[in-house]
Chain A
Amino acid sequence: MTALDIAPRPLELDEAAARAYVERGAGLRAATPAEAAPELAKIATGIRRDVLTTIQAARMGHVGGDLSVTDLLVTAMWGTLRLDPFDPANPERDRFILSKGHCAAALYSTLASCGFFARERLSEFMAPLSPLNGHPNRVKVPGVETNTGPLGHGFPVATGCALGAKLRGESWRTIVVLGDGEMQEGSNWEAAMTAAHYGLDNLTAVVDRNRLQQGARTEDTNKLEPLDDKWAAFGWEVRIIDGHDHQAIKEAYAPSTTGRPVAVVANTVKGKGVSFMEDRVEWHHKVPTDEQVRLALEELSR
């Protein structure tokens, strides 16, 4: 079969999964962080497994960052925000933006878990003509708010969303998840100033602080620390958490109480959940062998 034999097939709603998401998601949103944490952890483990098999099928991907950001994604989309897989353009939906767009496999796996499209379609990740490109495309993937990939783009767009909600007097909120290496992009600090200036307390910016970027540690490349002081100096309310603790994440995602936008510095481990990938720079976009995937899935089923 050649690429020309494959017809592009649009992604369609997975009705059963969407119904389950609407029901279970409402419960998880309403639950206390402590109550919701065990189930969020279970969903996250499923997403990690899907990330691994998705990357295995594609033979491409950014597995290290996918695994560091998984808990932040799951807690946002399942445990905090009101997304609408039945009507992805519903004007009243909350907005979720993954600014570190190279972690598309984690985003797609989580969107599929919410029913935006069928989970089986993950096997098409990066296949010829697949809507599931290596970086998310909102025109082709329901649930994606803006096309990301080049770093430093999602945050200004999220700021515009939050400002738009304020101008309209609407109560929906926006969460944007950024890579830590991405914080070296100047456009993010432009957005940080704007969001604070306009008092966007309906915006939460989350930094996946795994301390590694593509080639080395962030602190050996272009220092980010003291990252919390930087956010505070830019006028943000800062919350520092363990980015793999679902209770802590859900607590940190609670709306602002200060009238200021909220920055969550989530300390994470790149490659989290797979022992031989954890905190190792080479797993930024290395592709696991079938044997390594088997071992990883085994670790994730314990």
Chain B
Amino acid sequence: MTVVAEQTPTFDCRIDFADELITMARADERIVAVCNDSVGSSNLVKFREEFPHRLVNVGIAEQDLVGVAAGLANAGFIPFVSAAAPFLTGRALEQIKADVVYSDRHVVLCGQSPGMAYGELGPTHHSIEDISWMRAVPGLPVVVPADPAQTRAAVRWAAASGRPSYLRIPRFKVPAVTPADAVFETGRATRLAEGGDLTVIAVGTMVSRALDAAALLREQGVEARVVNMTFVEPLDVAEVVAAAEETGVIVTAEEGLVSGGLGAAVAKVVAEHRPVPVRMVGVPTFAPTGSTSFLLDHFGLNADGIAKAAREALGRS
């Protein structure tokens, strides 16, 4: 069960995504939105009202979606491709690889409603694989904002980066977790809680739940450091090594497949630099039927599940 989420206001980050994009589009006429019949689901109706000619909707055609965006970048635009994460990353994977990343086109790929945000619609509409798939494309930054402030910062960062990137925009409501003075830089993690017994490294919707887990663990006499990794690629290697050296145990938490995601990225660094016990909290397989909340609890993607993994890693289960 989550603790913080029940007491504090929570936010659908699509609203901040769209609002920030509109703000930026007012200042930079190169910014266009490219959709696959996803104007409503990306919350881009207001964008279309304000910039009717700068919203391109190719319909339900994801390969075309990404290819057209690469062409718009060729023509001097900064396209924000906004589509449901499973279809954007799965259907158009080769376009992402060849037309955008290998061709080095400044296209911002925005995976909406990722993880298990589509709940009862099932694994066809879940996007538990996107972090793994996007990590497998050489040189593509994989950015997983955890709250509204980070979502806005990610949009600004991606527009200014001059390079392709993948942004994973949460739809499942999350509380604000980012300190006001936090910086948003390529490959830079944010330390949200200090503790010497272990480190929980989380991204996206799991960050607030990692903080809740730390509160639970504190009641049990375990002090957990909590790190919001934000960039699964490029990973904040120094922060991972520091976690291994200074706390000796690491738990990772992500609303995504454990194979090839954040946990795998962290484990690689740990194995190469400073081997310590690592436990990975994530989605192990195709989900059964259920709401997003139900499924997150089902797979232990909550404070209890993260705390349990921590105790196991510490040998105190």
Q: Which residues of A line the B interface, CB within 8 A?
A: 91, 95, 137-139, 145-150, 152-153, 155-165, 167-168, 186-187, 190-191, 193-194, 197
Contact = CB atoms under 8 A, between A and B. Distances in A.
Given A147-B103, A186-B63, A193-B59, A157 B70 contact: yes
Is the contact region of chain A dominated by helix, strand, or loop, or is it mixed? Answer: helix
B61 A95 contact: no
Contact of A156 (B53, B54, B68, B103): B68
Contacts of A152: 63
Contacts of B61: 190, 193-194
Given A95-B74, A190-B64, A160 B69 contact: yes
B102 interface: yes
A157 B67 contact: yes
Nearest to B53: A167
A163 B56 contact: yes
Interface in B67-126: 67-77, 94-95, 98-99, 102-105
Is the contact region of chain B dominated by helix, strand, or loop, or is it mixed? Answer: helix
A98 B77 CA distance: 22
A158 B99 CA distance: 11
Interface of B: 32, 53-54, 56, 58-59, 61, 63-64, 66-77, 94-95, 98-99, 102-105
A168 B72 CA distance: 10
A156 B71 contact: yes
Contacts of A156: 63-64, 66-68, 70-71, 95, 99
Contacts of A190: 58, 61, 63-64
Contacts of B54: 167
Given A150-B98, A163-B71, 15 more contacts: A146-B103, A147-B98, A147-B102, A149-B98, A153-B67, A156-B66, A157-B74, A160-B69, A163-B72, A164-B71, A164-B76, A164-B77, A165-B75, A190-B64, A194-B68
A100 to B, nearest CB: 14
A159 B103 contact: no
A160 B78 CA distance: 12
A-B pairs, top 5 by smallest CB distance, nearest first, are A160-B71, A164-B75, A156-B67, A190-B64, A160-B68
B278 to A, nearest CB: 36
A147 to B, nearest CB: 4
Contacts of A138: 103-104
Contact of A155 (B67, B74, B102): B67
A163 B68 contact: yes
Nearest to B101: A147
Nearest to B79: A160
Contacts of A164: 71-72, 74-77
B58 to A, nearest CB: 5
A177 B44 CA distance: 34
A194 B57 CA distance: 9
B72 A153 contact: no
A159 B67 contact: yes
B104 to A, nearest CB: 5
A158 B71 contact: yes
A197 B99 CA distance: 22
A160 B103 contact: no
A158 B71 CA distance: 6
Contacts of A95: 74
A160 B73 CA distance: 8
B64 A191 contact: yes
Contact of B74 (A160, A167, A186): A160
A217 B50 CA distance: 51
Contact of B71 (A147, A159, A197): A159
A243 B121 CA distance: 50
B64 A159 contact: yes
A170 to B, nearest CB: 8
Contacts of B72: 160-161, 163-164, 167
A159 B72 CA distance: 9
Nearest to A152: B63
Given A190-B61, A194-B68, A146 B77 contact: no
Interface centre among A157, A194, A197 (most CB of B within 10 A): A157
B314 to A, nearest CB: 47
Nearest to A185: B63
A191 B103 contact: no
19 contacts: A91-B76, A139-B103, A146-B74, A146-B103, A156-B95, A159-B71, A160-B70, A162-B71, A163-B72, A163-B75, A164-B71, A165-B75, A167-B53, A167-B54, A168-B75, A190-B58, A191-B67, A194-B61, A194-B68
Contacts of A191: 64, 67-68
A258 to B, nearest CB: 22
B66 to A, nearest CB: 8
A161 B74 contact: yes
A47 to B, nearest CB: 25
Contacts of B70: 146, 156-157, 160
B98 A187 contact: no
